[in-house]
Amino acid sequence: MLLAGCAVGERPTLEQPTEFDDGAAEPVAELLDRAGTARFDATYRITPTSAVESTDARVTRTPDRARIEIGDVVFETEGGTTTTCTDGNCDEFANDARISDLGITHNFWGPAFRQRLLTDSSRRVGPTTGSFTQIAGRPATCVTIQVPSSLDAVGSVVYCALDDGVLARYQGADVSIELTSITTDDAANDATDQTTNGG
């Protein structure tokens, strides 16, 4: 939303929240904080609200390397450098514009959704509800947040994370993300080696 203002003077800015004050959302955020050190090989189904079909994604990650396949777009990170490739057409940076139609970034599996959770928690308009469930055969911690919706209505968003910090589910007005399978530790490390070497 654009805010109209005077032609002179400093323009207002929207500050991102930095701390939680929501006891139900904080446990999920603490789990998502762990994703940066997790070793895993996970597959996802990503479905934007405006799309007819879902897009498959795969995230294979160790603390040193990552390969993130979202549809036909591949993000590879090693040694602090990220490349983005589609059918051999590559950029030497993380070009999230290539997946902008999905309403996510390549870090959707953890870091990006930790910040999104913080933002939704800060704008809640009702009580939040914590819960536990099983997703892709793993225990997950979830939170449902009541947030403003269109036409003065109230909607809800759902975030779930596994114990090792990986995003397991997101259901919002713009997109739904569902973890469909995951392996961790040595299996993920082997998968990273195979995908990096073209296996």
CA angle 73, 76, 81 (to 5 degrees): 130
Would 186 be classed as within a structural domain?
yes
**pLDDT band, very low/low/confident/very high, at 14 (cuts 50, 70, 90):** very low
Share of the chain above pLDDT 70, in %: 81
- Residue 16 has what pLDDT? 55
**pLDDT band, very low/low/confident/very high, at 77 (cuts 50, 70, 90):** very high
Would 116 be classed as within a structural domain?
yes
Sign of CA dihedral 82, 97, 51, 103: positive
Count of the separate structural domains present in the chain: 1
Average pLDDT over residues 69-87: 95
Would 15 be classed as within a structural domain?
no
| The pLDDT of residue 11 is above 50 | no
Query: For the chain, what is the mean pLDDT?
Result: 85
Q: Calculate the dihedral angle through the C-alpha atoms of 55, 61, 66, 71, rounding to the nearest 10 degrees.
A: -10
- Residue 56 has what pLDDT? 98
Would 6 be classed as within a structural domain?
no
Domain that holds residue 123: 26-196
- Residue 17 has what pLDDT? 53
- Residue 196 has what pLDDT? 46
Are 192 and 67 a contacting pair, CB within 8 Å? yes
Left (φ > 0), alpha (ψ -120 to 50) or beta: where does 194 sit? alpha
- Residue 109 has what pLDDT? 95
Would 3 be classed as within a structural domain?
no
- 15-66 pLDDT tens trace: 555 566 678 899 999 999 998 888 999 999 999 998 889 999 999 999 889 9
Would 11 be classed as within a structural domain?
no
- Residue 28 has what pLDDT? 95
Average pLDDT over residues 172-185: 94
The domain that holds 177 is classified in CATH as 2.50.20.10
- 112-124 pLDDT tens trace: 899 999 999 998 9
| The pLDDT of residue 95 is above 90 | yes
Average pLDDT over residues 94-104: 96
- Kindly calculate the radius of gyration of the chain based on its CA atoms and give it in whole angstroms: 18
